[in-house]
A and B are shown apart, each in its own frame.
Chain A
Amino acid sequence: MELIISLLIAGFFGTGVYCLFQRSFIKLIAGLILIGQGANLLVFSVGGLMSLKPAFVGKEAPPMVADPLPQALVLTAIVISFGLIIFTISLLLKAQRELKSDDLNQLNTTDTL
């Protein structure tokens, strides 16, 4: 696998997880976004990278184009992770409003909210 892309994916996962370990809401969201980017890149690169040959075809299929299947999957994934992130932001906003704090460690009971 491509070295630079692998480093990037690993870096996103590592920093994303590290952000999740922190106690603030904003880091939680940032961590989710980072992990999402890493996962998208991972799926994207699994199909084999090919520069500047997008999958556009005419009547006659060209012999070599980029793999369209991972691209379609990642496209779905981008949109879904968008939905996830927007929902998380509103949820945390609501939780923060109720708790008057942005400490994740105060979210550890279900009953006080």
Chain B
Amino acid sequence: MFFALTFSILASAFLLVPLIKKFSGARVLVSLPAGLAFFAFLFMGWPSLRSGEVITHTLEWFPSMGINLDFQLTGMGFVLGLLVMGIGALIMSYASGYMKGDAKETRLYLLLYSFMVAMVGLAVSNNLLLFFIFWELTSIISYLLVGFKHEYETSRKNALQALLITGGGGIAMLIGLVMLSHVGGAWTFTELTANAHLITESALYPYILTLVLLGAFTKSAQFPFHFWLPNAMGAPTPVSAYLHSATMVKAGIFLMFVMTPILGGTELWKTTLITTGSITLLVGGWFGLTQKDLKAILAGTTISVLGLITFLIGIGSDKAILAAILVMVAHALYKASLFMMVGAVDLATGTRNINELRGLKKWMPLTATAALLAGLSKMGLPPFYGFIAKEYLYKAAIPLPMEWIQAVLVLGNAIILALAIKVSIIPFFAKDKEKQESASDNPLHKNELDWTMSVSPFVLAILGVLFGAFPNLITPMVHTAVHSITPEANLYAVKLWSGVNWPLILSIFTVGLGLALFFSSRWLEKKETPKSWGVVIYERLLEAVLCLFKKTTRVVQSGYLQNYLAVILIATVALVAWKSIPTMGLWVSYESNLTLTPIIIITAVIMLISAFWICITKSKLNSIIALGVIGAGVALLFAYYSAPDLAITQLLVESLIVVMFAWVIKDIKPHNLSTPLLLNSWYLIISASFSLLIFTLVMKSKLVNLAPAISQKMVEMSYPEGFGSNVVNVTLVDFRALDTWGEATVISIAAIGVWILGKNLISKKS
């Protein structure tokens, strides 16, 4: 009921959105289904989650293989679902302003809704395969959305890049999941969790882990696969804000969360995740520091934060899991807000270059406020939710034995802080030193942006403050999420102020370092971003694969009829001979109870001579006459061997073909193309051996006796049931009428084809 309701509200969007678009002036209503689904999910899911009741639903799918459509609401899935639908609703309303007047508007909304369905499905699926299907769906929809401006080549290229990388990871993950279910003996996450010891002790464990993590790392843009994310930012801003910062990239994180009780806790898991996470944190930050484009900077920090979360999941302690969830929520809130703000600025001023944008607060006060609030949360300053997340992050990291980790974390967070200042403060609040500001010097193309574009980022930014000041508003949900991952975890209270302690000192240090980085960051910006080596490897690999298959295709698909024919015939002859000669022998025996009359023998000889004549002659008229002779001969055979209907049809068809031929014969040029002798004798050998094969098979086919009962029944039923004395006719129009109907269809289609081609020919002529 719960799942059905959520999904059907979301699905109703596919009906409602086109209607709203068509009949309502208030296009912001397109966010309605997402909003409703959000509240339904929240108010129906939360009470039962809090009371500890588990909402599950199972639909049979392949019961014989133990594979079913299992849905289950877990604490983690609940948090992800809320983020997906809540942010989704705001993004929808933002998109209705952003896409105003765009011809492909409805397409964007519906793609975003499809994505939402896939993402919610992913959050609530309890079956490995179901999870995988939703996972792949998000990849495919992301492909369509990144390539939304498909008129541009870069857009298509980046979409393909994102698809190939996440899709490749998805395939690796599928193999990993199948191995996982094989070792763990179940397809559901819940059962696998119970069998976790089987899996971690299995010899296959390292392979399973690697394959599953490949899926997670590609999806969540972890090093060394991070390079697709900045390229995917070419998508329209609502897409970047929704998929590539707040939700889809969190799917990989979500996978790591749900795998924690199944695959987690081992040294291999910890080392891999901690190392990858730390590298990603720094690589993403460095990428952000070198960029001037607002969206690229945000992409860089998104990669950083994803690395941070991976790192925390790798630590896996109770505090770390709590911190990971806090970071995830805080990041989703401020990053989606910042992305929407960048989209608004881009649309208003026509640029995203941070060096050109100054003093925008005067023109876009609401957007500027939203940017400031979200930016402060991103910097990790009190009283914002980002601050809480960062404090708990440090709390989780401090007990670790590795000192370098803390240095990496401080550096990473400092970079994020510096970039936050760059993105959210400078464009709005810095004064333009070069140009004198004046009222006439309005940088905006449009003075008024649609109000929906400022409200959505503002709401998210406000939530960041609200949750920061009163963390208990959502702490219970965060706690159930922690419990769904580590059921025995100590639940640490989430507080804004926990006294002067080591994390606070680290925070202060981070702020200092971040400010220093900010002031020195202008020297780091590059004029042109060189391709990162990840992109280079990807492009080389893609090129090599395409080249290989082009060459193979060129060899296999020559485009010459003769080659295809030769391959088919040689293969047929060889295979049939190989299989049948040992069992049936080569010799054919001849026996017949048929009386051969001279007329049949003479007809057959004439027909054979005509057939050979067609092969030899160079005259087109001779060919047509010989074909006519053969057709008439076949008709005679039909007539003689008790098939008058066939004879009549054959004669009619033969005449029509000859007429048609005669009609077009003047248009067909005489053929004086000769095949080289050697090649021709090769063709002759193939034809002859094929002919021999057919002869042998036909001679031997006396052994094949088709069931006579059908024919006998037809003869018996023809008159009493079909009311006709000609059994063949009754068969055609009655017993096998469907065949005849199909035949009529084929002829009609052919007639339409001939008509179109013929019309074309005539119009060309005149």
Question: Which B residues touch A10, using CB under 8 A?
Answer: 691-692, 694-695, 698
A:19-78 near B, CB below 8 Å = 19-28, 30, 33-34, 37-38, 40-42, 44-47, 49-59, 61, 65-69, 71-76, 78
A30 to B747, CA, bound (A): 20
Known: A15-B687, A41-B637. A83 touches B614 (CB 8 A): no
A79 to B692, CA, bound (A): 28
Q: How large is the interface on A (under 10, 10 to 19, 20 to 34, 35 or more residues)?
A: 35 or more
Cβ-defined contact, B694 with A67, below 8 A: no
B:648-691 near A, CB below 8 Å = 649-650, 653, 656-657, 660-661, 664, 667-669, 671, 673, 675, 680, 683-684, 686-688, 690-691
Question: Which B residues touch A2, using CB under 8 A?
Answer: 592, 594
Question: Which B residues touch A58, using CB under 8 A?
Answer: 719, 725
A12 to B751, CA, bound (A): 27
- Chain A residue with Cβ nearest B732: A72
Cβ-defined contact, B687 with A69, below 8 A: no
Question: Which B residues touch A4, using CB under 8 A?
Answer: 596, 600-601, 604
A94 to B762, CA, bound (A): 10
Cβ-defined contact, B642 with A17, below 8 A: no
- Minimum Cβ distance to chain B for residue A37 (Å): 6
Cβ-defined contact, B750 with A97, below 8 A: no
A42 to B357, CA, bound (A): 82
Question: Which A residues touch B751, using CB under 8 A?
Answer: 83
Question: Which A residues touch B660, using CB under 8 A?
Answer: 86, 89
A9 to B728, CA, bound (A): 23
- Minimum Cβ distance to chain B for residue A38 (Å): 8
- Minimum Cβ distance to chain B for residue A29 (Å): 8
A69 to B646, CA, bound (A): 12
Q: Does A3 contact B (CB under 8 A)?
A: yes
Question: Which A residues touch B671, using CB under 8 A?
Answer: 22-27, 102
A19 to B413, CA, bound (A): 77
Question: Which A residues touch B718, using CB under 8 A?
Answer: 55, 57, 61, 68
Q: Does B579 contact A (CB under 8 A)?
A: no
Cβ-defined contact, A34 with B611, below 8 A: yes
- Minimum Cβ distance to chain B for residue A112 (Å): 11
Cβ-defined contact, B757 with A93, below 8 A: yes
**Interface of A (DSSP majority class):** helix
Cβ-defined contact, B641 with A21, below 8 A: no
User: How many residues belonging to B are interface residues under a CB distance threshold of 8 Å?
Assistant: 102
- Chain B residue with Cβ nearest A62: B715
A69 to B592, CA, bound (A): 22
Q: Does B760 contact A (CB under 8 A)?
A: yes
A4 to B643, CA, bound (A): 18
Please tell me which one of the listed residues B565, B664, B694, B708 contacts residue A14 in the complex, with CB atoms under 8 A apart.
Answer: B694
A27 to B624, CA, bound (A): 10
Question: Which A residues touch B650, using CB under 8 A?
Answer: 78
Cβ-defined contact, B646 with A74, below 8 A: yes
Cβ-defined contact, B656 with A82, below 8 A: yes
A29 to B561, CA, bound (A): 13
User: Which one of B105-113, B369-377, B699-707 is at the A interface?
Assistant: B699-707
A91 to B614, CA, bound (A): 21
Cβ-defined contact, B687 with A61, below 8 A: no
A93 to B664, CA, bound (A): 8
Known: A37-B631, A44-B646, A82-B657. A87 touches B753 (CB 8 A): yes
Q: Does A113 contact B (CB under 8 A)?
A: no
A61 to B719, CA, bound (A): 8
> Can you list 28 A-B contacts (CB < 8 A)?
A5-B698, A7-B608, A11-B612, A14-B690, A16-B611, A21-B683, A28-B561, A42-B698, A46-B704, A47-B711, A50-B641, A55-B642, A55-B715, A59-B719, A65-B642, A65-B715, A65-B727, A69-B710, A69-B711, A69-B714, A74-B643, A76-B740, A78-B649, A83-B749, A96-B669, A97-B667, A103-B673, A105-B560
Given contacts A15-B687, A21-B686, A80-B747, 16 further A-B contacts (CB under 8 A): A7-B695, A14-B687, A17-B687, A18-B687, A27-B671, A30-B614, A47-B706, A51-B595, A51-B641, A57-B719, A65-B727, A79-B747, A83-B750, A93-B761, A94-B757, A97-B764
